[in-house]
Amino acid sequence: MAFPPADEEAATATDETTALVPPSSSEAHVRLTAIKRRIAGYTRRTPSASTILATLLTLAFAALLTTFIVVSRDTSPREDGSNPFDHLTIARHGAVNSDVAVCSDIGVAILRDKNGTAVDAAIATALCIGVVNMYASGIGGGGFMVIRAGDGGSASINFRETAPGAAHRDMFNHDAMAARWGGLAVGTPGEIAGFYEAWKLYGRVPWRELFEPNIELCENGFEVPKFLRHVIDGELDWLLKADKGEWGFLFDERGEVLDAGALMYRPALGKTLRLIAEGGPKAFYEGRVAESLVRSVRKHGGVLTVEDMKGYTAEIEETLKMWAFGQEILTCPPPCSGAVLIEGLNIAEGLDMSNADSAVVTHRIIETMKWLSAGRTEIGDPSDEAVSNAARIAEIQSKQFAAMVRRNISDTRTYGWQHYHPSYEFKESKGTSHINVLDAAGMAVALTTTVNLYFGARICDPETGIVLNDEMDDFSIPGTDNAFHLQPSIYNFIKPYKRPLSSTAPTITVYNGHPSLVIGGSGGSRIVTNVFLCFIKIHKWGYNLLDTIRSPRVHHQLMPEIAFVETGTRDDIVQGLEDRGHVVQELPAIGSVVGAVHRLPDGEIHAVSDYWRKGGVSLTFPLVAFARFAIMAAD
């Protein structure tokens, strides 16, 4: 159940502040409005003395129990002086999980202060990520959102970028790097359209109010996160030569890159967000914003048109569903990689992976990763009927296929890549951000958004402040077989208005009718393998969420033929992998960031962001808010 507003008058006034409110004819909005009115009624009730006493005793017991749980854990500082439990957040009502503290805070404010839904909070948080971590995501990009509503319904919103109308299969044959940087690399952005479709289905806070805190960040400034400065340092070769008219917001008045902790301002983007806040998606896809984006893209040699912008639509699709580990699992359909996550979970369910300290168990995990990476080579946009692969995608998600794969996994050896039958090569990506939200009414959102490589196409439109994606690089290019002589995927060739293959896998699990785990990540092909590994750690090893996220990871994507392990992996496990024929490479981090929110069977919510790899932050409702609600809702 959602938090009540301060009073009924305030709730009514909020709904009247703008014309951009969720349509009253929407079944979802009618349901949520009814809930809101019921909760608002509690504010007019005066609790009895017995109610207050009973509530205080309940809270005292909960506090005592929480104390017991905390002291029973290993809370000792690590070698670097940090305490891992500083990065575990526990709550009862809801949580917002993202890469940036201020963005998680904005999401929580939408839930708590605006009586918003998980979709409202996810949108506001994602807009913030685009402001602060513009190298990874933003309204010039696209992505996928998986939603599970409190009534049990679910939806997947596909707002992946599309190829412009003038794009064609052979457009990068002369120069493959043109798919990465410059105007030709830009696909039609989808984020605003996707957010609007999700908001129409499940939003409650007026559209304009989701933008307001982010407009303030642009205008009043925000502190540069350490990881943003780290990324900028890695991109300095081109940034120092880039047009300061486009990228000037990254530099101070002396022309030097802003230090971590310094204030960054994005006034041009703030003006654009204000236009979209007032005018909805039409203000982005038509008129001056669209015209300015097209001018910038074409100035850099691209083919995007105002017609491409105006014609873009986000797709509302059914979620992919499976049953494993005693839970229903919901994820996104192609061109998202949810199908191969399902493939991997089906395979793992029938294997003994219970011993976290066993080399053979790690070997089985890696072998499963190799199979799901092979499955990923066959995914493309199902809208391209000329090369439809629907039957094969359905097959690799089946229990029968999983049983066949298990018969082809040896406990004593690994095999060359041919054994796993990949069909084509797959593409790699880099700059992505993931957000998880769970609200008090039982709605969950897993949202992954991206501009592809760091800073996308390396184009920032100076008039609008929008960083544009390079999503055309996620398509396959004919005649560019990889080092293993695998041909590019026919399912992923460029076609006008087609959406490229995505490595993302936003996922929600449901246990006993309630969302249980909300999870996703960033890091290209490592996303799906690491989300898969988190399922193993939770459901096979019995790890809590904190240990699931912070413990060392392994990764194999079939090609190159290397088992990557993070520093901290046990020496005997590494040796066991090598004894089975794996080439093992140890890295401080394997390039994937995972965040999750986990609702335990007793209702307690744990949220963990990947502080250890990207400095992510989770925030939740404070206990005082719970006490306020409990007193008003009792009797």
Binding positions for L-glutamate are 160, 450-452, 474, 502-503, 524
Report the run of H or E that residue 449 belongs to, with start and end: strand 444-452
Q: How many CB atoms lie within 10 A of CB 463?
A: 16
Report the run of H or E that residue 320 belongs to, with start and end: strand 320-324
Candidate list 125, 432, 507, 569, residue with the active-site label: 432
Which of 375, 364, 407, 332 has the alpha carbon at shortest distance from 533?
364
- Tokens representing 313? 């639509």
Task: Find all residues with CB under 8 Å of 128, minimum gap 6, and list them.
Answer: 98, 100, 102, 103, 106, 107, 213, 214, 217
Catalytic status, residue 432? yes
Burial category of 257 from C-beta neighbours within 10 Å (exposed 0-12, middle 13-18, buried 19 and up): middle
Measured CA to CA in angstroms, residue 261 lies from 103, 221, 225, 433, 620 at distances of: 16, 11, 6, 21, 24
Task: Find all residues with CB under 8 Å of 249, minimum gap 6, and list them.
Answer: 264, 265, 266, 268, 465
Check whether the bond before 478 is cis (ω within 30° of 0).
no
Residue with tokens 């369910």: 349
Contact between residue 338 and residue 505 where contact means Cβ atoms under 8 Å apart: yes
Which of 450, 525, 448 has the alpha carbon at shortest distance from 482?
525
Q: Angle 118-132/191-202 helices, nearest 10 degrees?
A: 160
Active site residues per annotation: 432
